[in-house]
Amino acid sequence: MNQNKQRVLLGMSGGVDSSVAGYLLREQGYDVIGVTMKVWPQDCISRAEDKCCGPQAIADARGVAHALGIPHYVVDEADQFERLVIDYFASEYQAGRTPNPCVMCNEKLKFGNLWSKAKALGCDYIATGHYAIIEHAVAGVGDPGHADAPTESESSGIIDPSYRYAVLRKGVDPRKDQSYFLFSLRQPQLRRALTPVGRMTKQQIREIARSLGLKVADKIDSQEICFVPGNDYKEFLRSHLGEKAFHRGEIYDVDGNFVGEHDGVELFTIGQRKGLPGGSARPRYVVDLDPETNRVIIGDADDLIVDEFEIDRVNWHPVAGIADPGRAIGTQGAGVSAPGYSEKIEAMVKIRYNHPGTISTVTPLENNRARIRLREPQRAVTPGQAAVIYDSDIILGGGWICRSAICHPERPAAKSKDTVMVL
């Protein structure tokens, strides 16, 4: 139980997970305040009618808050959502990358801007219904520079001021784990975050909701990006950017042969097969996008295979022990030396959310970059997506996949001067 009656701002999406999170926090003795973010401008809110940020979601969240006996507020984050998430989403496609808006929303809004609202309401923490576990390594006990350092769960409600850093783990339900979407959270964000459903399965969550008589107990989970109706990102880009903003260009194969023209590099992603010119005896896929020339490069399935790539804007978690040479990890002068750059680590790397992960050699580089060598080459490593690094169920860090020339050493070099990839 929470002996100090600490106050928590709970992000309520109107779904069953955040609803049960509110119940669990209340039972642990927290003073819970429910908040739902309104992220749609009034003139287009109908597009989000059934989404986690739409009017029905707000009504559902308000009903749950009433049933749990906790206050509920709606905060208007439409302008910030437009600037930090939707504009990012569109600009990534324009740059030939495939965005991950859920990661950005968590970092910038749910655990970012929302903290100012939490402080204004006198809250100590922000809680969500994410299926992930946040723990805190105890300062001075064991070796805090390794993943097996002794930890104590934050779910106890007792936060010792001597805790050194937060550890982010996978949720126990492998089908629902959402730790991937939280990799970019920094330590100040993780230290004030609570994820009470992380140690439970979806079935357990629904059973609790049914026992409480919550109307959202059997509400279907959304499988789409909340602001993209019908999951049709191309139509969303057309309405958001306008046709004139698309970068038209040409389609070439991996040998530099002209294949055709296209209506916008924004309309393609790595691994895409639909919408490509026909006339080939074998299926062809998008294997590269060049935003500088607006060229779309297509090839065979084998051309999608990658065994090495780099990530940038890497967020190393202290548990990984990665830092500048000679720099100590931790906080408040922990005095624990960390491995310097270029020291390789073996870890499991997920190259997209629904990827099972593959053993890789990760080499930290300067300027918040890292090189990842896959033990087993993977298909469709997509620039703009997050590559998240795990030690068992613990997140060591992660970053954003960079665009680079894709190397296929078994193929001869292309002869055409128009080739834009190294083959």
Residues marked active site are found at 105, 226
Tokens 């968590």 belong to residue = 106
Burial letters for 70-109: b for 16+ Cβ neighbours within 10 Å, e otherwise? bebeebebbebbeebbbeebbebbbbbbbbbbbbbbbbbb
- SS3 state of residue 225: coil
Amino acid letter, 340: G
Q: Do 206 and 173 touch, CB atoms closer than 8 A?
A: no
Report how far residue 353's alpha carbon sits from residue 2's, in angstroms, rounded to the nearest whole number. 34
Token pair in block for residue 370: 């890292």
Torsional sign, CA 302, 307, 311, 314? positive
- SS3 state of residue 166: strand
Report how far residue 203's alpha carbon sits from residue 222's, in angstroms, rounded to the nearest whole number. 16
Amino acid letter, 407: C
